[in-house]
Structure 1
Amino acid sequence: MKQMDIFRKILLTMVGMLIPIVVLFAYSNKENVSVIEREIKSSSLHKLSFFQSQMDAQIYQLNTNMLTLVSDVDILRYVIRFDEDPFEATVTRKSLEKRLLHLSLTSPWNNRTAIHAPMRKEAVSSDAYEIYNPKRLNLLNRKTWLFSGEPDSPSTWKFTKFMSEPKKAAGDINKVNMVIESQFSAMNIQDMLDTYKLGSSGNPFLWMPEPDRIIGNRTAKPANLEMITNQLGDISLGERGSATFKLQSGEEVLLTYVSMPQLNGYIVDYVPLQNILSPIFKNTYIFYITCIMLLITACIAAFLLYRHVQVPLRKLNTGVQSIKQGNYSARITGITTSEFDQLFVRFNQMAEQIQKLIENVYEEKIRVRDATLKQLQSQINPHFLYNCFAHIVHMSDLGYNEGITAMSHNLCDYYRYSTRVDKPNVLLEEELKLVESYLEIQQIRIPRLTYTMEIPDEMYGLGFPRLLLQPLVENAVIHGIEPYFSADTIRIRGAVTEQGWEIWVEDNGPGMTEQAVRQLTEQVETDDFLSADSYGLRNVHQRLHIGYGPQSGLRFQALPGGGFRAGIEIYNRKELEAN
Structure 2
Amino acid sequence: MIAIKRRIDNIPIFPKLVLTFLIITLPLFTLSLVLNDLGKQEVKNQISSSITMNIHYYFTTLEKELERIIRNQQGFINDEDLIQLSNSLTILSDYQRTKTINDLKLKLTALKESSIYIKNISVYIRSLNGTVSTSSLEEVSGNGEEAEAIAKATYTSGIPITVWQDRLFLNLTYPLNLSKTEKEPQFIQNIELSMEALTGALNSFPQEGGALLFNDKWQIANDKYTSPQAEIREALTERMRESTAFTMQVDIGKQPYMAVYEKSTFLDASLLFYFPENVVVGQLKTYGVWFWLLVASSFIIVVLFSYGIYLLIHRPLQNLVRRFRSVEAGDFSAVLSSSREDEFGYIFNRFERTVLNLKTLIDELYVQKIRLQQSELKQLQMQITPHFLYNSFFILHRLIKNDENETAELISKNLGDYFHYITRNGLEEVPLEHEVNHVRSYVEIQNVRFSSRIVVDFDPLPPSFHGILIPRLILQPLVENAYEHGLGEVVREGRLSIRFAVEADKLIFSVEDNGAGLTQERLAELNGALHRSDEGETTGLINIHRRLKLKYGERGGLEIGRGSMGGARVRIYIPSDKGEQI
Taking structure 2 as the reference length, the TM-score comes to: 0.41
Taking structure 1 as the reference length, the TM-score comes to: 0.41
